[in-house]
Structure 1
Amino acid sequence: MKPRARDLNIRIGRLQPGPLNAITDVPGVRVGHSSVRGRSAAGRDICTGVTLIEPRAGSTNRQPCFAGVHVLNGNGDATGLEWIREAGLLTSPVAFTNTHSLGVVRDALIALDRAQQPDDGRLYWNMPVVLETFDGLLNDINGFHVKPEHVFDAANAATGGPVPEGAVGGGSGMVCHEFKGGIGTASRRLGATQGGWTVGAIVQANHGVRRELRVDGYPVGRFLEPKASPFTDAALPHPGMGSIVVCLATDAPLLPHQCTRLAQRASLGLARTGGGNEDQSGDLFIAFATGNDHIPPAAYERKGAPTCDGLRMVTNDHISALFLAATEAVEEAIINALLAAETTEGNGHSVPALDADTLLAALGKAGWPGA
């Protein structure tokens, strides 16, 4: 297993991570991947997949949670975000995949959830959340190789515990700061006096220009530019084309507008690593909070009490620590995605991995005291 940032003594920020330093440190959250690899009938390389983040085991539609979204740059696509903006409810797992597989993943999530519902004759609807980034450099993206069964496989694989990172699931074919990118995760756990809550982040990193890369605040990118880049071919778009999508989870009792505020802080974590300045990058973020239980399902209930009693919320005087936790978790998740990935070749392109020794050497040149 390749080292993560903390294995290299790179300790980003000042808050402490949870025991797994992953989004699954938030109780109940589960992650599953399904990677799709091979060769198409036309001889093209297939390097793609699906990553699924479940707020809780079982149907999220029947056990919704409060959520909010933020778009830093809209050069990307997603499903289900308008309902979150309107109602403040997340009623499905969150899925990551490639740009041209957004629709099939959405449809498969509906089928998956429908199979979990009682067949009682009531009308059913759902608007799942699927986020995408473009993997067309390494993957035969126009071959539409992600199928419903890959979504089902990711759901069946979903579990708590350590989260595989790098070129896995939806991150299989992604490129980050001109190195191999993909899935990364991290967490922060607040002290008891700050509420004791956990914030976890998972990213699908497919963004960034190499010279802008920063690690723990140090401008390592300028010392990495001589390394091979997949964008040396003049026929390719310029570096930085791509996107990043982020899912934040917390067990803090946040209301929908507070989840939106938390999602906004993903922008700060992205900025700390040198991202967020490219026109051709779709930077889309979602945050959900599981700290309020027994929120009525949105799709079924038409009877019962007209109010939802017993809701809690973090007061604004104590929410800043959660903002900082989200910022640091996203920052570290991006670096973990870079460190976990392996050099990958596909369709005539080679994308190098950022190995630990290369990163540590660049940090030393940039003045990092831990070198």
Structure 2
Amino acid sequence: MNPRARDLDILIGQMQPGPLNAITDVPGVRVGHSNVRGRSSSGRDICTGVTLIEPRPGSTSQQPCFAGVHVLNGNGDATGLEWIREAGLLTSPIAFTNTHSLGVVRDALIVLDREQQPDDGRLYWNMPVVLETFDGLLNDINGFHVKPEHVAEALNGAADGPVVEGAVGGGSGMICHEFKGGIGTASRRLSAAQGGWTVGAIVQANHGIRSELRVDGYPVGRYMEQKDSPFLRAALPHPGMGSIVVCLATDAPLLPHQCTRLAQRASLGLARTGGGNEDHSGDIFIAFATGNDHVPPAAYEAKRAATCDGLRMVNNDHISELFLAATEAVEEAIINALLASDSSEGNGHSVPGLDGQTLLAALKKSGWPGSRPA
């Protein structure tokens, strides 16, 4: 297993992570992956998959939570976001996949959720949330190799505990800052005085230009562009044309508009690593909050819905700590995605992995003073 940022004593930000330093530090959140690998009948390499994030175990449509979304740059696609903007409710798991598999993943999630519902004649509807990034260099994206059974595998395999990172699930064929990218995760836990809540992030990183890469504020990317850098021999077409999607989770009792504000802070974490400036990047973020335990599902019949519901919310005077936690978690998740991913080849393209020792060497060249107390 490759080292993560903290294994290298790269301590990003000011706040402390949760015990797993993963989105699954938020109680109830589970993550599952399905990998799709092989060669197509036309001889092209297949390297793709699905990553699934469950806010709570069980049917999310019957146990929704509040959510909000933010789009930094819209050169990407997603399903289910308009209902979140309208109602503030997340009513499905969140899936990451490749651009041309968005539709099949959405449809599969509807079928899987429908199977969990009682057959009592009620009207049924669902608008699942699926986010995408483009893996068309390393993967035969036009072969449509992600199938409903892969979505079911990711859902059935969703678990709490450590999250597998790197070239896995939806992140299998992704490229980040011209290195091998993919799935990364991190978390931050507020002190008891700040509320004691946790914010977790998971990213599918497929964005950025190498020269812009920053780690802990240091411009490491420009030191990987020098004449003695081995990465100059691994040029890729169309650098910066990819995207990044981010899911933020918290157990704080946030209302929908506060979730939207939290999602906006993913932009800051992205900016801290040198991303967010490319026209060809789809930068789409979602945040959900599980701190209100009994958010009612959408009513199928008027008599099922209570007139009013008692809810809690974080006082805005205390929300800044959650914003900082989201920023730091996204920043570290992107670096973890890079470090977890090994070099890869596919369809005539060779993408280098960013190993820990190379990163440490670039950090030292850029003036990084070394590890500091946790």
TM-score range, shorter chain: over 0.9
Instruction: Give me the identity figure in percent.
Output: 85
- Give CA-to-partner distance per residue, 1:194-240, whole Å, 9 cap, x none: 0000000000000000000000000000011233368736xx3x210
1:293 is displaced (CA, Å) by: 1.1
Query: 1:227 maps to which residue?
Result: 230
* Counterpart position of 1:324: 324
The equivalent of 2:101 in structure 1 is: 101
Q: Deviations over 1:64-120 (max 9, x none)?
A: 000000000000000000000000000000000000000000000000100000001
Q: CA deviation at 1:299?
A: 5.2
Q: TM-score, normalised by structure 2?
A: 0.97
1:133 equivalent in structure 2: 133
- Asked if 1:5 is matched to 2:5, the reply is yes
For 1:202-241, list aligned pairs within 5 A. 202-225=202-225, 226-228=229-231, 232=235, 236=237, 238-241=238-241
Q: Which residue of 2 aligns with 1:302?
A: 302
Q: Distance in 2 between matches of 1:172 and 1:9?
A: 26
Q: Which moved more, 1:217-226 or 1:190-199?
A: 217-226
Distance 1:308 1:184 in 2: 39
State the Cα deviation string for residues 313-361 of structure 1 (Å, max 9, x = none): 0011000000000000000000000000011110011101000010000
The secondary structure found in structure 2 opposite 1:96 is strand
CA contact (8 A) 2:224 2:231 kept: no
Match of 1:160? Answer: 160
In structure 2, what is the Cα distance between the partners aligned to 1:263 and 1:305?
29
- CA–CA separation in structure 2 for the residues paired with 1:327 and 1:301: 40
Contact 1:203 1:247 in 2 (8 A): yes
Which 5+ residue runs of structure 1 have no aligned equivalent?
Answer: none
Deviation at 1:123, TM superposition (A): 1.0
Counterparts in 2 of 1:309 and 1:46: CA distance versus 1, 3 Å: same
For 2:198 and 2:308, how far apart are their aligned partners in 1? 25
The answer to whether the 8 Å contact 1:231/1:239 transfers is: no
Number of matched pairs: 368
Contact persistence 2:202–2:247 (CA under 8 A): yes
Taking structure 1 as the reference length, the TM-score comes to 0.97
After superposing on structure 2, the runs of 4+ consecutive aligned residues of structure 1 that deviate more than 4 Å are none
- 8 Å Cα contact 1:126-1:299 kept in structure 2: no
Cα distance in structure 1, aligned partners of 2:286 and 2:299 = 21
Counterpart of 2:309 in 1: which secondary structure? coil
Amino acid at match of 2:22: A
Structure 2 spans left out of the alignment, 5+ residues: none
Please say if residues 229 and 351 of structure 1, whose CA atoms lie closer than 8 Å, have aligned partners that are also in contact. Answer: no
1:355 match: 355
Deviation at 1:307, TM superposition (A): 3.0
**Structure 2 CA distance, aligned partners of 1:230 and 1:123?**
58
Specify the alignment match of 1:199 in structure 2.
199
Q: CA deviation at 1:302?
A: 2.7
C-alpha distance in structure 1 between counterparts of 2:369 and 2:307, whole Å: 56
